[in-house]
Amino acid sequence: STQSTWGTGDALAQLCGPEPWDIQRLGRMGMWAGLVSAPVSHVWYNQLDVFMENWRRRLSTRSILARSSSAMVLAKIAADQLIYTPPVLALYFFAMAKLQAQSTQDALASVQAKFFDTLMTNWAVWPAVQVVTFTMVPLPLRVAFIQVVCIFWAFYMSAMAAQPQAELTPVGQIGIALSIEPQLQPAC
C-alpha cells in the first residue's frame, strides 16, 4: 500500500538522519500517503491516460501528437510535471508543517523555502521514471510501479520536510546565493 511505501521511505530517512526516531513523523507520512498521495495519484494517472488518448483522437491526423506514441509520452510527462507536480509538492510541505501544528504563516514559509530545490530534484528524477511508466508499464500497474519508486522519493521528501528552513536557500535569494563577488586584483 502507499502508506507502507511512504512509511518505509520515512523510516529509512530517519535511520540515516541525525535526529532520534520520531514515531509522529512516521504517522504524518502515513497520513499523507493514505489520505492524499494514494487517492490523488490514482485518479491523476488513470485520468491522464484517458484524457491524452481522447485528446489524440481529436487532433488532426497531420499532428505529430496524433501520429507519434513518443510525442504522446512526452506530452504526458509534460502534463504530469507541469500540472500535477508543483501543487502536490507545495501541498506536501504545507501539510507536513500544519501536521506539526505550525502556523499557516510558518507552513507557507516552509513551502517557500523547500519547494524550488525539491521541484528541481523532482525534474531530475521523475521524467526518466515516467518514460518507463508510460512506455512499459500497463495502466492498471502504473500506480503500483510508481509507489515502488516512491520508497526512494519518500526518503528524499521526508528528509527535506525534516530539514530546518534556516539550512535552505529561499527562492527569492537564489540570485544572491549564485552571484559572484568581484575579486580584487593585486597591483603589479
pLDDT tens readout for residues 37-57: 889 988 998 898 888 878 777
Burial of 167-185, coded b for 16+ CB within 10 Å and e otherwise, reads ebeeeeeeeeeeeeeeeee
| pTM of model > 0.85 | no
166 vs 110, higher pLDDT: 110
CA atoms within 13 A on the CB side of 122: 22
- Report the distance separating Cα 3 and Cα 35, nearest Å: 9
Burial class of residue 31 (count of CB atoms within 10 Å of its CB; 0-12, 13-18, 19+): middle
What percent of the chain is predicted at pLDDT more than 90? 41
Q: Which amino acid is at 53?
A: E
Q: What pLDDT does 94 receive? A: 95
Q: What pLDDT does 43 receive? A: 92
Q: What pLDDT does 62 receive? A: 61
Predicted confidence band of residue 66 (pLDDT cuts 50, 70, 90): low
